[in-house]
Amino acid sequence: MENAVGEVQNILVLGGRSEIGVAIARELLTPSTQRVMLACRQPGESREVEASLARNGLRVESVSFDAADTASHAGFVDNIVEGSGDLDVVILAFGVLGSQEQCDDDSQSAVKIAHTNYSGAVSIAMEVAKRFRQQGHGRLIILSSVAGERTRKANYVYGSTKAGLDAFAQGLSDAMVGTGASVMIVRPGFVHSAMTTGMKAAPFSTTPEVVAKLTVKGLRAGKRIIWTPGILRWVFMVMRHLPVAIWRRMPMG
* CA-angle at 133, arms to 217 and 29, nearest 5°: 30
* CA-angle at 164, arms to 183 and 126, nearest 5°: 45
The 181-188 sheet, strands edge to edge: 59-64, 35-40, 10-14, 89-92, 138-143, 181-188, 225-228
Q: Which residues are catalytic?
A: 158
Output the DSSP codes for 41-101: S-GGGGHHHHHHH--TT-EEEEEE--TT-GGGHHHHHHHHHHHH-S-SEEEE-------HH
